[in-house]
Structure 1
Amino acid sequence: MTDPAETKIDGTRSVETANKETKKVSSEIFDLIAMKGKIGGAGPGTGECGDDREKHFLMRHSWNVSGSTDAEVAQAMTRLKEGLPKQGWKIVSYERNNSPAKSLTLIADHDEKKFGVNVEFWEKGKARKDNPPGLVITVVSGCFQVPEGETVDHY
Structure 2
Amino acid sequence: MSELRSGPVVTARCFSLPIAALAAALILTGCSLVNSDSGKLGYEPEVRAVEPAEDEVNAISSQLLDWMGVKGKVTESGAMAGTCDAVDPDFQTHYSVEHPWSVYDLTSGTFEQAMQNLREKLPQNGWEITSDGLTKSQARNPEIVAVNRETHHGVRIEWARSRSGKLPKLITVDVGSRCYKAPKGTKLG
Could you tell me the TM-score, scaled by structure 1's length? 0.88
- Superposition CA RMSD, Å: 1.9
Question: Matched residues, percent identical?
Answer: 29
| Contact kept in structure 2, 1:67 and 1:73, CA below 8 Å | no
| Contact kept in structure 1, 2:58 and 2:79, CA below 8 Å | yes
Instruction: Rate the CA distance shift 1:92–1:10 in 2: closer, same or farther, 3 A.
Output: farther
1:121 aligns with 159
Which residue identity is paired with 2:35?
D
1:16 aligns with 51
1:103 aligns with 141
Instruction: Rate the CA distance shift 1:34–1:67 in 2: closer, same or farther, 3 A.
Output: farther
| Alpha-carbon distance, 1:13 to partner | 1.2
| Alpha-carbon distance, 1:112 to partner | 1.0
Q: Helix, strand or coil for the counterpart of 2:102?
A: strand
| Alpha-carbon distance, 1:10 to partner | 3.9
| Contact kept in structure 1, 2:70 and 2:106, CA below 8 Å | no
| Alpha-carbon distance, 1:41 to partner | 4.3
Query: 1: CA distance between counterparts of 2:45 and 2:119?
Result: 25
Bigger relative CO (Cα 8 Å, ≥ 6 apart):
1
Query: 1: CA distance between counterparts of 2:171 and 2:181?
Result: 31
Query: 2: CA distance between counterparts of 1:41 and 1:128?
Result: 23
In the TM superposition, structure 1's runs of 4+ consecutive aligned residues that sit over 6 Å from their partners are: none
1:66 aligns with 104
2:171 aligns with 135
Which residue identity is paired with 1:128?
S
Q: Deviations over 1:20-63 (max 9, x none)?
A: 11111111111101101111142111221131231111111011
| Alpha-carbon distance, 1:102 to partner | 0.8
Instruction: Rate the CA distance shift 1:68–1:148 in 2: closer, same or farther, 3 A.
Output: closer
| Alpha-carbon distance, 1:148 to partner | 2.9
Q: Helix, strand or coil for the counterpart of 2:46?
A: strand
